[in-house]
Chain A
Amino acid sequence: MIRYPSFIIFFLIVFVAISLYQVKHLITQKELELSVINKNIIRTESDLNILKAELSYLKRPKRIENLAKNQLKLREISAIDIWDLQHLVDVTKSITESNVK
């Protein structure tokens, strides 16, 4: 009568001890993996920041303005360059009418 529960308790203790060891081992392993992943994330983030910074440097307004002026031969837009669509239709219509006449 005494032995039966004692064995159960003994095996239970052994089982829990092994389980705890396994879990602890697993967690330690996962923490290491996580640490490596985290380092990679930080490195990748830093690389991304470098790329973003390079892109931002290339896209800086002063450079774009110089490229537009010197390479594309563009000039600054003025109010007379902006046309309302209806205005454009009216002008086209009047030109067509004058041609017909």
Chain B
Amino acid sequence: MKINGFLHNDFSIKNNLKLRRIKLSICSVLLIFSFTIIGYKTFSLASITKANKNQISSKKKQQSLFSKLNRGNIYGRNGELLATTIDVNSLNINPQEILNKNETIKKLNKIFPELKEESLWRKLNTKKRHVNLLREISPKQHVLLLEEGIEGIKIEAKDKRIYPNNNLVSHILGGTDIDGKGIAGIEKSFNEKLLNGEDITISIHNGIQYITEKIMSEQIKKFDAEGGAGIVMNAKNGEIYAITSLPDYNANNYNNINNQNLFNKATKGIYELGSTLKLITAAVAFESDHVKENDVFDVSTPLKVSSRTIRDFHPLNYRLNIPEVIVHSSNIGSAKIAKKFGTSTQLKYLKSLGLMDKLDLEIPELGKPQVLKDGKLLTTMTISYGHGIAITPLHLASATATIVNDGVKIKPTLLISNSKLSNNRIFSSETSKKMKSIMRLVVSSKHGTAKKAQATGYLVGGKTGTAEKVNQTGGYSKKQNIVAFTAAYPMNDPQFVITIMIDNPKGQKFSFGYRTAGWVAAPVIKRLVTRISPILNIKPETKVSSDFTKDLNNYKIRGKKKGANL
């Protein structure tokens, strides 16, 4: 009827029909076009194409699709698992659903003897609807529980971060809180990646780490020391193979450990590392225009500067050349060398070696060095032999690596892929070559302070350091020492740097009461080198008269009684 009414309008029927046809055709085309687009889009969204296939399979996409992803694992350099997340079941109960409480207590006590009857009775007689009985139960206990068929029991699965190697490398791995968020170490630094399910591989070698920890622990026990730190680092790319801080802790109990054990002595603790700093003094001297290679320094009388008198542990009555200053570890000689090149040169090199700033390592527990910068001559002199400068053992390892790596700066790293070789040259090749010889002489010369570091077959070189410990009330303690040794080997082409520090060793009968680095730290290097070299594929030197060893004869190192002047 409506159509008829419409047709009886004033418009002519013919024109009207034509117009309608056009309108309908336009509408039809538009509708067909729209539905075709909608249809195409629907199917294209539903189907998997090459373009979206990769996107769907990516871990990130998975995370957005699904609420739960296991926290990534942490692996050692050889693929050893260091940290992983597993599901553990917790035992909960709803006391309101229990019909026979006595029977339930008996059944629970049979499976979980650690749950005491009294405590169970108390827990089951509350008005609560959810009571936690045990935070973790074993799969075997879970099965027994199901077999018993106890009413009101609720098993809840939750994530647990575990560290299968317990104490091994615990300071570096760090830990997570109860929500699974990284709160220390690698766990904290790489929290985002690990949360996204990504695995992290660090440069630590399980075997080397274990050997380092074991030898260090034994020596700490032998000398009744408070603790220590040890680092084994690749001298060419800065990859850390082992890093230990003792006393350590079981990483599985991170949240129940006291702060003292959690403290990382290798990367966060700053110490005056004594004469080990003389290596830097000697290297700077070789670089400086103010010191000549053949310069000699009179060390026969104590050196009085301002209010302080600088003395040597083993006084010598003649003038020493630079290598002798290092081999005999003369404080007076070192102070006189530093006086020659001056404060600004010293600070410039300390800065360029990174000894005035925090290290850029992949964990948050890093210590900032403390360097006295009062511009006084006395400070420059004391810094030259390691007093008035407090650094972490890892700073010392980094500086040692730079000296032996042809003078090119080495940045320590805990990652394998991150070891980019730097071009930042601090010392010349010539200086590096001389320093390698001098470091070797400290160990190989019969007058050296580190004869006990001599490992048969290996060209070990290094420098000892014994410093009085800083009192908490200020000043130095005469009774407490920090001993350190920084070494590299094989010295003809150093592959590895080993730096160790032992905190407050006590003199022993077998050491004739000595508690110096030569007695305490040097033997650790010897044992470490002997143990780790076969693992690191470093072969012992079979040719006794190698070019490097021959060159050492060019250095004139005199003993205590050879008091002839140069």
Cross-interface CB contact of A84 among B24, B25, B162, B542, cutoff 8 Å = B542
Q: Are B81 and A79 in contact (CB under 8 A)?
A: no
- Distance to closest chain B CB from A78 (angstroms): 6
Question: Do residues B86 and A79 form an inter-chain contact, with CB atoms below 8 A?
Answer: no
Q: Which of B346-394 contact A (CB under 8 A)?
A: none
B residues 30-71 in Cβ contact with A at 8 Å: 31-32, 35, 38-39, 42-43, 46, 62, 65-66, 68-70
Contacts of B17 in A (CB 8 A): 1
Judging by beta carbons under 8 Å apart, are B46 and A53 in contact?
Answer: no
Interface 1/0s, chain A 79-101, versus B by CB < 8 A?
Answer: 11010100100000000000000
Query: Do residues A77 and B534 form an inter-chain contact, with CB atoms below 8 A?
Result: yes
Interface residues of B in 99-149 (CB under 8 A from A): none
Q: Are A42 and B86 in contact (CB under 8 A)?
A: no
Q: Report which of A8, A16, A87 forms a contact with B542, defined as CB distance below 8 A.
A: A87
B46→A23 contact, CB < 8 A: yes
Instruction: Evaluate whether A38 and B540 lie within 8 angstroms (CB atoms) in the complex, with A5-B24, A5-B28 already known.
Output: no
In the complex with contacts A35-B66, A49-B70, A80-B456, A12-B32 CB distance below 8 A:
yes
Asked if B457 contacts A52 (CB within 8 A), the reply is no
Pairwise interchain contact A12-B35, C-beta atoms closer than 8 A: yes
Residue of B with least CB distance to A48: B84
Docked complex Cα distance between A34 and B57 (Å): 12
- Chain A residues lying within 8 Å of B531, measured Cβ to Cβ, are 76
Please tell me if the beta carbons of B542 and A46 are within 8 angstroms of each other in the complex.
no
Which single residue of chain A is at the shortest CB-CB distance from B69?
A: A42
Query: For B66, what are the chain A residues with a Cβ–Cβ distance below 8 Å?
Result: 35, 38, 42
B156 at the interface (CB under 8 A from A): no
Report the minimum CB–CB distance from B173 to chain A (whole Å). Answer: 13
Q: Please give me the residue from chain A that is nearest to B539 by CB atom.
A: A82
**Residues of chain A lying within 8 A (CB to CB) of residue B70:** 42, 45-46, 49
Give the chain A neighbours of B206 by CB distance below 8 A. 60-61
Across the interface, which residues of B come within 8 angstroms of A8, CB to CB? 28, 32
Interchain CA distance A65-B17 in the complex, whole Å = 100
Closest to A87 in B: B542
* Chain B residues whose CB sits within 8 angstroms of the CB of A53 once the complex forms: 81, 84, 86, 162, 164
What residues of chain A lie closer than 8 Å to B211, measured between beta carbons? 61
A56 in the interface (beta carbon within 8 A): yes
Per the bound structure, the CA–CA distance linking A8 and B29 in Å amounts to 11
Task: From known contacts A61-B168, A87-B542, infer whether A23 and B42 are also in contact, taking CB-CB under 8 Å.
Answer: yes
CA separation between A46 and B27, bound complex, in Å?
Answer: 58
- Assess the B35–A13 pair: CB atoms within 8 A: yes
Interface residues on chain A, number (Cβ under 8 Å):
41
The reply to whether B164 and A56 contact each other, CB–CB distance below 8 Å, is yes
Let me know if A9 is at the binding interface, CB within 8 A.
yes
Tell me which residues across on chain B come within 8 A of A55, comparing CB atoms.
81
**Docked complex Cα distance between A45 and B530 (Å):** 40
**Bound: A46/B88 CA distance, A:** 10
CB neighbours (8 Å) of B27 from chain A are 5
Contacts of B540 in A (CB 8 A): 79-80, 82
With A8-B28, A57-B164 already in contact, the answer to whether A50 and B86 are too (CB < 8 A) is yes
Asked whether B87 is an interface residue with its Cβ less than 8 Å from the other chain, the reply is yes
In the complex, A65 Cα to B66 Cα: how many Å? 43
Chain A neighbourhood of B457, CB < 8 A:
79-80, 82
Contact of A60 with B168 in the complex, beta carbons under 8 Å:
yes
Q: Which of chain B's residues 439-462 have a Cβ closer than 8 Å to chain A?
A: 455-458
Say yes or no: B46 contacts A26, CB within 8 Å: yes
Inter-chain contact B534/A19, CB cutoff 8 Å: no
Interface flag for A2 (CB, 8 Å): yes
Chain B positions within 8 Å of A87 at CB level? 542
Is B254 interfacial (CB 8 A cutoff)? Answer: no
A62 interface residue, CB < 8 Å from B? yes
Interface string of A20-59 (1 = CB under 8 A from B): 1001001100000011001000110110011011111101
Residue of A nearest to B157 (CB): A46
> Would A23 and B43 count as touching, CB distance under 8 A?
yes
Pairwise interchain contact B42-A61, C-beta atoms closer than 8 A: no
Please tell me if the beta carbons of B539 and A56 are within 8 angstroms of each other in the complex.
Answer: no
A16-B35 in contact given A38-B66, A80-B456, A82-B534 (Cβ < 8 Å): yes
Which of A45, A53, A82, A84 has the largest number of chain B CB atoms within 10 A?
Answer: A53
B residues less than 8 Å from A16 (CB atoms): 35, 38-39, 42
The chain A residue sitting closest to B211, CB to CB, is A61
List the 10 closest pairs (A to B, CB-CB), nearest first: A79-B457, A61-B210, A79-B540, A56-B164, A56-B81, A5-B28, A57-B164, A49-B84, A53-B164, A46-B87
Q: With A5-B28, A27-B46, A35-B66 given, name 6 new contacts (CB 8 A).
A: A19-B39, A23-B42, A26-B46, A49-B84, A49-B85, A61-B209
22 A-B residue pairings within 8 Å (CB atoms): A1-B21, A1-B24, A9-B32, A12-B31, A12-B32, A16-B39, A19-B39, A20-B42, A23-B43, A42-B69, A45-B70, A49-B70, A52-B81, A52-B84, A55-B81, A56-B82, A56-B165, A57-B165, A60-B164, A61-B207, A79-B458, A79-B533
